[in-house]
Structure 1
Amino acid sequence: MRARTRFTALLVAVATASALTACGQSDDGPKENVPTVTPATAAESPMSDATPAGTVVVALPAKAIVVGHGAGAKTAILSNDGTRVQLFAAPGAMDAPAPITVTVPALGAIAAVGNGFVGAGTDGLVRIDANGGVTEQKAELGGVLSLAVTDDQRVLVGTDRGHVLVLDSAGTVKRDIGGFVRVDSITVAPASAGDRAGQVVVLDRAQSAVTPIDIDTGELKAALRAGDGATVSTVDQYGRVLVSGTRNDEVYAFYGQPIVMRLRAPVPASPYAIAYDGRSDTLWVASTASDVITGYDVSSGEALERHRITSVPQVTAMTVTDAGDLLAVSGRDGALQVVFPNDVR
C-alpha cells in the first residue's frame, strides 16, 4: 500500500522553561505546580494470525533495543524486568549464532557505547562488552527511565523524579539537573547535525513536552508542548527531535534553538516506538493498536508514506542498524523482528 501523508509545518509559541545552574538540584522530587497530563501508554495489540514482515527471532520480552557501533558490535535487548540483556550477532542471518544472555542488576535503560553497552539502574551503571563481560560502577541513581551517551562519553541518566544526572566515564555523578516531572527520553544530536551537534533534549511524558538542556551549566532552555500524550523520542542526522504522540495519534519533529515544531502528521492506531534510518531518511513508526510499522520519507520537510508492514505484537522499541536493517522487539511475546531493506521494497 502506498499513500501520501503531508507533514504540516507548524510554528508553536514557545513556553519558557525554568532555568537551573551549577550542580545543585532544584528539589528532592518531581517538579510541582506545573500543568501535567497522565503519561500516555501504548494501546494493547490485538490477537492476530497475520505474519510479521521479515524474520522473527526468539528473544526475551523486551523494553529496549540498541545496536553497538564498529567492528564486532552486537545488538542488545533489555528484558522487561531489566535483569537480563541478550546480545545478538547478525540477528536474522541464516548462520547467526545463538544470543548471549547476561544477568545484570535491574536496569531501567540501556545505550550503546562503542561496540559495547551501558545500562543504568538504581545502584549505578553496568557496562557490558561485546562478549558479555559485565563491569559495575556504583552510584545512587534512583528510579531510571532513560539513558543517553554524549560524544565525549558522558552518560546522561533520566529519572522518575524529574532529574537528569550527568555521569563521567568512571560512573561518578558530576551534575544533577532538576526541573522536570519525569525524564522519559533523552536525545543527543549527532556530529552530522552541524550547529545543533551535541544538543541534548529531554522528553517528559507527564508534561508532554520537549526541553533542550545545557548539561555543562544545568540550564533548561525554552520548552515546547508535544500534543498531550507524547511518549518516545529519537533524533535524526540533522538534529531534528522526532517524537511519537501516542494519545493524539500523531508524530512531531522539533528543531532549533529555541526549538520550534517543524513537522506534524497524523499516524493512526496508537503510534509508540519510533526509529530513524539516516541512509534513506526514513522515520519508522510502530502502531500497536494495529500491529503495523509505517515508514515515512522525511527528506523533503514533509512525510510521504513509503512502506507499511506487519509487525510483531506490542512493539515496545525499535532501532535501525548501519546497514539499514529495521529491528523491533515485542514486550509481550518475546520476539525480535528483523526487516532487511529488501523485505520492504
Structure 2
Amino acid sequence: MRRLTAASRIVIPLAGALALSACSAGGQDSTDTLQVVNNPVAAKAAVSPAVSVPPAGQVLAMPAVSAIATDAQSHTLVVALSEPPSVRIYDLGALGSPKATVGLPAPAESLTASGGQALASVPGKGVLARISLPGGQVQTEPVSGQPAEGVAAGTDTLVAVRDRKAIEVLSGGKVAKTITGSLYSADGVVDTGSDVVVLDRLRTAVFSVDVQAGTMDEGLRAGAGAANAVADSYGRVLVTDARAGALLAFSTGPLILRQRYPVPGGAYGLAYDHQRSLAWVTLTGTNQVVGFDVRGGEPVEKYRFPTVRQPDSVSVDEQTSRVLVGSAAGEGTQVIQP
C-alpha cells in the first residue's frame, strides 16, 4: 500500500481555496473547475458483506444504530436507534442495560456529546434534540430546514442545516445568526477550539466559517467523497473519503490540505481519541475498525479489529481508550478494548 510521507504530502495553496469559495452556492456550476460531476451525489458507506470473523470485544444487542457518541463529563455512552426512533443512554462503567431511553419524533442522523449534554439532529422532523446526561431529560428545538449535525461551541450551538446550505448559530435557544456561502449542502460542522469548519458532502468539500463575522470563507475539495469529519488535538480537521478510500488532514486558519493517507476497505465512520492522538476509522467494506496514530508527518496504523456488520458509526471512551462501534444493520454496538 502506497503511503504519502511528510515530504510528499499533498498541500493545496490558498489560491485553490479561493477558487472554490468563489463558486456558486446554488448547486451545479459549469464554471466551477473543481466540480467533479454535473450532478453530484453525497457519498455513502460501502455496503458491508456478511461477517466472516467474530467481532472483537463485547457486543451489546440492539436494533440498527444510526449514530453513537460518548460524553466524558457524565461518563455515558449515547446511542441513536433507527427503529423505534430513540436514544439510549448507558453508563460507561455498567454497559449491561441502558440507564434511560429517550423517544425521538424521527431517527437521529447524528449525535454529538460534551459537557453533560447530547445533541441529536433529526432532519426528518426539522428538530434538534438536547438531551441532558445521564438523566435523559430532552428538549426539542425547531430548526428551519433539515438539521444534519449540531455541536456545542462555548455558550452557542452551531447547527449545519443541509437543505438551506447554512450554519445556524443558536444562542439561548434562539437563532442569533445564519451563515451561508458557497455550499451545495451543509452536512457537518467541526469546532477545533480556534476555528470552525463545515463539511459539504454533496460537493465533497470543507469550508472555513468565521462565526463572529458571520461569513463562509475559503473552501477546499475533500477527496472524491467526503463522508465524516472530526477535530484532532492539533487544530486540524480529519475527514474520511469514502469513495477514494483515504483519511485527509486539513489545517485551519488558513484551510490547507496537509495529508492524504490511503485507507482501503470503505473508510467511513470517524472518531478521535484526544488522550492518545488516535484516529479511529471504520471500514464498512471489510467490517473492520482501524486506529491510526496521527501525531507525525503521516498516520501510523496501531490497531485493526474485526467489527459488527455495517460499522457506520464509531466513538471513543477517552478515559479507558475503549472504542464503541455501532452497526447500522442491527447487529449491535461493539465495545473494544485496544
For 1:103, the equivalent position in structure 2 comes to 103
Q: 5+ unaligned residues in a row in structure 1: which ranges? A: 20-25, 191-196
Residues 147 and 159, structure 2, Cα contact 8 Å, conserved in 1: no
Distance in 1, matches of 2:129 and 2:301, equals: 39
**1:84 is aligned to 2:83:** no
For 2:62, the equivalent position in structure 1 comes to 59
The amino acid of 2:212's aligned partner reads D
1:270-312 C-alpha deviation (Å, 9 max, x unpaired): 1000111122211111111111111111111211111111011
**Which has the higher mean CA deviation after the structures are superposed, 170-179 or 231-240?**
170-179
Residues 82 and 105, structure 1, Cα contact 8 Å, conserved in 2: no
Call closer, same or farther: CA 1:4–1:263 in 2, change over 3 Å.
Answer: same
* 1:145 positional shift: 1.6
* 1:53 positional shift: 1.0
The amino acid of 1:293's aligned partner reads V
For 1:151, the equivalent position in structure 2 comes to 154
**Which has the higher mean CA deviation after the structures are superposed, 119-128 or 230-239?**
119-128
**Which has the higher mean CA deviation after the structures are superposed, 104-113 or 239-248?**
104-113
Q: TM-score, normalised by structure 1?
A: 0.85
Aligned-partner SS, 2:128:
strand
**1:292 is aligned to 2:288:** yes
1:213-250 C-alpha deviation (Å, 9 max, x unpaired): 01222212211111121111111011110011110011
Residues 108 and 143, structure 1, Cα contact 8 Å, conserved in 2: no
For 2:165, the equivalent position in structure 1 comes to 162
For 1:116, the equivalent position in structure 2 comes to 117
Aligned-partner SS, 1:15:
helix
Distance in 2, matches of 1:246 and 1:98, equals: 32
* 1:123 positional shift: 4.1
**Which has the higher mean CA deviation after the structures are superposed, 227-236 or 176-185?**
176-185
Call closer, same or farther: CA 1:65–1:217 in 2, change over 3 Å.
Answer: same
Call closer, same or farther: CA 1:279–1:4 in 2, change over 3 Å.
Answer: farther
Aligned-partner SS, 2:156:
coil
Q: How many residues align?
A: 319
Q: TM-score, normalised by structure 2?
A: 0.87
Residues 158 and 189, structure 2, Cα contact 8 Å, conserved in 1: no
The amino acid of 1:141's aligned partner reads S
For 1:136, the equivalent position in structure 2 comes to 140
Call closer, same or farther: CA 1:69–1:296 in 2, change over 3 Å.
Answer: closer
* 1:157 positional shift: 3.2
Distance in 2, matches of 1:10 and 1:158, equals: 30
Distance in 2, matches of 1:41 and 1:15, equals: 25
Call closer, same or farther: CA 1:112–1:315 in 2, change over 3 Å.
Answer: same
**Which has the higher mean CA deviation after the structures are superposed, 263-272 or 214-223?**
214-223
Distance in 2, matches of 1:119 and 1:97, equals: 21
Residues 274 and 285, structure 1, Cα contact 8 Å, conserved in 2: yes
Residues 224 and 243, structure 2, Cα contact 8 Å, conserved in 1: yes
Percent identity reads 29
For 2:310, the equivalent position in structure 1 comes to 314
Q: Tell me which stretches of 4 or more aligned residues in structure 1 moved more than 6 Å.
A: none
For 2:9, the equivalent position in structure 1 comes to 9
Aligned-partner SS, 2:254:
coil
For 1:194, the equivalent position in structure 2 comes to none
**1:272 is aligned to 2:268:** yes
Residues 48 and 286, structure 2, Cα contact 8 Å, conserved in 1: yes
Residues 160 and 187, structure 2, Cα contact 8 Å, conserved in 1: no
Distance in 1, matches of 2:12 and 2:279, equals: 22
**Higher RCO structure (Cα 8 Å, ≥6 apart):** 1
**1:331 is aligned to 2:335:** no
1:256 is aligned, of 248, 252, 255, to 252
Distance in 1, matches of 2:53 and 2:102, equals: 32
Distance in 1, matches of 2:127 and 2:241, equals: 31
**Which has the higher mean CA deviation after the structures are superposed, 76-85 or 144-153?**
76-85
Aligned-partner SS, 1:222:
strand
